[in-house]
Amino acid sequence: MIKRILVPTDFSKNALNAVRYALDLYKKINCEFYLLNVFRLDSYTTSNLLVPEPGSTEYENAKAESEEEFTKLLEMIALHQDNYKHTYYTISSYNFLSEALEQTIANKDIDLVIMGTQGASGTKGVIFGSNTVNTMEKVRECPVLAIPKKVQFTAPKEIVFPTDFKSRYKRTELKYLLEIAKIHQAIIRVIYVNKNMDLNETQEKNKQLLKEIFETVDHSFHTISKKDVADGITAFADSRKSDMIAFINRKHFLFGSIFSRPLVKEIGYNATIPILALP
């Protein structure tokens, strides 16, 4: 079965790094990579009532520039990895990133989005750019994997999976996490971070269910007594030099904690761990 992966790019170094990470992560898998560039027109602003139309000189020049950058990118990809299992498609879109992502995910039946955490306009001191955070928050049709700026690919051998055990998990929610773990023989470290370390009856049942779901991969359970959930997750991952953090992206769970400003400041712009948000 062919996996379809969408990689947004603004042709920055960080975006190129995310492309390379994607190619290496799924090196052994038959994949179609859809490379998406959302181009804008310098002279057009939201206050301008005239939307540039296809066929206009300004529109066609901007699109041609995007396509020219794609030619260079495909040449770099060929130098990085000539993989017969991979095919590439480029999409130049005049649109807002969120809308272009939504349309491409639907039209191409995308399985996974992989993107860098900062683009060409990345601000020093901020690891997760607004585009990345918005994408991880809004995309619900497929997982989103965010690759920090300076992460060079190494096969993930340990993936941290934080949980509060308050919700029942479904196998379908975790299939991409399990897939990555199986491809790279990675260990999943399930961590529960809470000041109160005791689990109630519902939590115990959900923990048992998670054990059953993870029975086909190497895994272990860990409990950390810490008031701040985000601090506990990053401290655990940093101390073990883990390769990835994965979590179910539910509105009421962890998302706000993981991407809150205090955590961004703590791990800084030299963060070394990709984040996998599972819908």
Q: Provide the angle, in degrees to the nearest 10, between the axes of the packed helices 97-108 and 130-138.
A: 40
Looking at domain 3-147, what is its CATH homologous superfamily? Answer: HUPs (3.40.50.620)
- The larger pLDDT score, comparing residue 232 to residue 123, is at 232
Helix (H, G, I), strand (E, B) or coil at 140: coil
**DSSP secondary structure string for all residues of 172-187:** HHHHHHHHHHHHTTPE
Give the side-chain half-sphere CA count within 13 A for 208.
Answer: 7
Assigned CATH for 158-278: 3.40.50.620
Tokens representing 49?
């009532």
Distance between CA 147 and CA 154 in Å, rounded? 12
Tokens representing 96?
């807002």
Domains 3-147 and 158-278 share a fold: yes
- The larger pLDDT score, comparing residue 226 to residue 182, is at 182
Distance between CA 88 and CA 18 in Å, rounded? 15
pLDDT over 90, % of the chain: 46
Q: What average pLDDT does range 226-248 have in this prediction?
A: 84
Model pLDDT for residues 94-135, shown as the tens digit of each residue:
888 888 999 999 999 999 999 887 644 544 434 345 666 666
Domain residue extents for the chain: 3-147, 158-278
pLDDT reported for residue 127: 39
Tell me the C-alpha to C-alpha distance, in Å, between residue 133 and each of 47, 128, 231: 26, 6, 19
The strands making up 144-147's β-sheet, listed across from edge to edge, are: 86-93, 31-38, 3-8, 112-116, 144-147, 275-278, 244-248, 158-162, 187-193, 219-224
pLDDT reported for residue 54: 74
pLDDT at 73 over 90: yes
- The larger pLDDT score, comparing residue 159 to residue 42, is at 159
* 18 close to 114: Cβ distance less than 8 angstroms: yes
- The larger pLDDT score, comparing residue 255 to residue 164, is at 164
Neighbouring-strand partners of residue 246: 276
pLDDT reported for residue 133: 62
* 70 close to 124: Cβ distance less than 8 angstroms: no
* 129 close to 75: Cβ distance less than 8 angstroms: no
* 232 close to 238: Cβ distance less than 8 angstroms: no
Distance between CA 138 and CA 159 in Å, rounded? 23
Nearest 5°: the CA angle 68, 118, 236 is 140
The model's confidence at residue 68, banded by pLDDT at 50, 70 and 90, is very high
pLDDT reported for residue 137: 67
Position 249: which residue type?
A: N
The model's confidence at residue 268, banded by pLDDT at 50, 70 and 90, is very low
Tokens representing 139?
């995309």
pLDDT at 177 over 90: yes
The model's confidence at residue 194, banded by pLDDT at 50, 70 and 90, is confident
**What count of other Cβ atoms lies within 10 Å of the Cβ of residue 260?**
14
The model's confidence at residue 52, banded by pLDDT at 50, 70 and 90, is low
pLDDT reported for residue 267: 38
